[in-house]
Amino acid sequence: MIRFEHVTKRYADGTTAVDDLSFEAGEGELVTLVGPSGCGKTTTMKMVNRLIEPTEGRILLDGDDISAIDPVQLRRRIGYVIQQVGLFPHRTVLENTATVPHLLGWKRGKGRERAAELLDLVGLDPSVYGDRYPEQLSGGQRQRVGVARALAADPPVLLMDEPFGAVDPVVRERLQNEFLKLQARVRKTVLFVTHDIEEAVRLGDRIAVYGQGRIEQFDSPATVLGAPATPYVADFVGADRGLKRLSVTPIEESDLDQPPVVHLDDPLTRATARLRAEGARWAVVLDGHDNLHGWIPAGDSATAASGGTVREHARRMEAWLPLGAPLKQAFSTMLQHDAGWIAVIDKESTGRFLGVLTPARLHEALRRSIDADAQHVPRATVAVETVTSVTTAAP
């Protein structure tokens, strides 16, 4: 979709910002360009929308050499999001978002309708925020307007230059998650510049790690972390790359244990007698569709004697994740809930119970992740609900 062929950029003062660069971002792929300050990331990006012209080589967009495309026409096919969002201060959020449709000559009503749709898509209710002015928004909200505006004319390509660089780490993580969900829906071809390796790993289908003006490695996040191509890359991704790898290593079915399981309508006496006979201290409680409901302690004989069904004594299970969620999330969920185990449900999060992850099994999985070499571990794309309230700590 975007193809660089032996592209070099030398500025007038002799600085070679980009040196013989060749790589390709496929359709619907999100490629992060990461590297230290001054290594040529922004220059690479600005050559795609012809804000900067290459000295040598060529760039193809969908097979067309961009040097032959009128820059104005070209930029209509490319959304551009930058750190200083550049919203017009005297225009409302809705008007700002409708800027490109307006420039493209869309009818006012259609442009505004589209802008409202996009604000909704980036999580800003147009009826609440549409009539506000940029200064009445938080930094994170302004960035979202920037993303909505870039998507307004539905361009196939997005260029994003440190779009979340100016917001605090918490908001940044939220924007990253939202952007991943959005990208899963809109599937744009994205070049995303960042100097933060964590962000590059989190967002990128592939990462281009820049040295001075050159790409040192162009690979999946897991491969860059697991098998850095050069000492420079190893140094850049950091000594703790094993830990970073946890965010791209998913929970697998083989990581799960199968604890005793009881159902909501089971008589309590029978359920607890079984648990005691098996020497188990607790069981997972499922509903009639085998979906996760909660857990129940083995309890004492007094509780069992009180009669009734499991339903009256089951406790809700808040510490759960879908299969495929990153190990890092499993670890933090366990800590957050002070849980001795977490339940794992199906990938689609319909609630179907698959097993539990215990600290011992998590530890094995962490080892597997850290020890893994150049395995291609797919980036975990499952967005996991963040459970905020702890109503029950598992035993």
Show the 3-state SS of the chain.
Answer: CEEEEEEEEECCCCCEEEEEEEEEECCCCEEEEECCCCCCHHHHHHHHCCCCCCCEEEEEECCEEHHHCCHHHHHHCEEEEECCCCCCCCCCHHHHHCHHHHHCCCCHHHHHHHHHHHHHHCCCCHHHHCCCCHHHCCHHHHHHHHHHHHHCCCCCEEEEECCCCCCCHHHHHHHHHHHHHHHHHHCCEEEEEECCHHHHHHHCCEEEEECCCCEEEEECHHHHHHCCCCHHHHHHHCCCHHHHHHHHCECCHHHCECCCEEECCCEHHHHHHHHHHHCCCEEEEECCCCEEEEEEECCCHHHHHCCCEHHHCCEECCCEEECCCEHHHHHHHHHHCCCCCEEEECCCCCCEEEEEECHHHHHHHHHHHHHCCCCCCCCCCCCCCCCCCCCCCCC
Cβ 87 to ligand ATP shortest distance, Å: 21
The residue within the footprint of ligand ATP, chosen from 34, 41, 140, 152 (CB under 6 A), is 41
Question: Is 37 a residue that touches ligand ATP (CB under 6 A)?
Answer: yes
Residue 68 CA to its chain's centroid (Å):
35
Cβ 110 to ligand ATP shortest distance, Å: 36
The residue within the footprint of ligand ATP, chosen from 11, 138, 332, 390 (CB under 6 A), is 11
Cβ 85 to ligand ATP shortest distance, Å: 16
* Nearest to ligand ATP of 230, 291 (CB atom): 230
* Nearest to ligand ATP of 38, 351 (CB atom): 38
Question: Is 15 a residue that touches ligand ATP (CB under 6 A)?
Answer: yes
* Nearest to ligand ATP of 115, 201 (CB atom): 201
Cβ 54 to ligand ATP shortest distance, Å: 12
* Nearest to ligand ATP of 6, 270 (CB atom): 6
Part of the chain binding ligand ATP (CB under 6 A), chosen from 8-16, 170-178, 235-243, 285-293: 8-16
* Nearest to ligand ATP of 81, 377 (CB atom): 81
The residue within the footprint of ligand ATP, chosen from 2, 25, 40, 141 (CB under 6 A), is 40
Question: Is 38 a residue that touches ligand ATP (CB under 6 A)?
Answer: yes
Cβ 325 to ligand ATP shortest distance, Å: 31
Question: Is 214 a residue that touches ligand ATP (CB under 6 A)?
Answer: no
Part of the chain binding ligand ATP (CB under 6 A), chosen from 13-21, 182-190, 260-268, 372-380: 13-21
Question: Is 100 a residue that touches ligand ATP (CB under 6 A)?
Answer: no
What is the per-residue binding string for ligand ATP in 165-204, x denoting contact by CB under 6 A? ------------------------------x---------
Residue 8: CB atoms within 10 Å: 15
Question: Is 39 a residue that touches ligand ATP (CB under 6 A)?
Answer: yes
Size of the site for ligand ATP (CB under 6 A): 13
Distances (CA, A) of 39 to 16, 213, 323: 10, 5, 38
The residue within the footprint of ligand ATP, chosen from 43, 97, 141, 220 (CB under 6 A), is 43
**Contact residues for ligand ATP, defined by CB under 6 A:** 11, 13, 15, 17, 35, 37-43, 195
